[in-house]
Amino acid sequence: MAGLAKGYRKVEVKLSWDPAPVGAPNHDLDLIAATYTAAAPSGPPTYLVHFDSRSPDGTIILNRDSHDGRGFGADEVLTLDLYRVPETLTRVVIGVAIQQHAGRLAFGEVARPVVSLHEGYTVLARHELTTLPESTAATVAEFVRESGGRWLFTSEARGYDADPVEFGRVMGEG
């Protein structure tokens, strides 16, 4: 009966953090999704979805983008319509990177950075990024398509010391 299993279909990734202290530069965190094909499952991504972008086919969209962590609820929201992702793409890696505008800033210096993944009302995973205090970026989830088309999900927070541009290049390694 494994052929009847649907796997993951539509997932929301939510990122929130508290604003920087008064008088300090804004803390600007970003959700990033990297896509890969079966022929090139790691290394440079096929494409990235991040602030001011979406997937070419509209299956991965950043719905909300914050530059300072102010506001109610999630500061950034990324939606993955996995059931519509082209069959040529077989892996999607989700990460978080801190913009480094005013010097090096790590997760341990940001108040309450939390990323969570949801399918409907079900929480799939939740990571408090302060557990990676020296890191400036982190991968938090990976979706891999099985040969039958079903998406599998794993979630582990893995820290990087990279700015957002470098992180986008290396987040699919390993």
Q: For residue 69, what pLDDT is reported?
A: 58
Task: Please give the structure tokens belonging to residue 14.
Answer: 């939510």
Q: For residue 19, what pLDDT is reported?
A: 80
How far apart, in whole angstroms, are the C-alpha atoms of residue 124 and residue 95? Answer: 15
Chunked in runs of 10, what are the mean pLDDT values of the chain (174 residues)?
A: 63 90 84 95 93 87 69 83 95 96 93 96 96 98 93 96 94 85
Region of 23 on the Ramachandran plot (φ > 0 left; ψ -120 to 50 alpha; else beta): left
Q: For residue 67, what pLDDT is reported?
A: 58
Domains of the chain (ranges; CATH) run 2-170 (2.60.60.30)
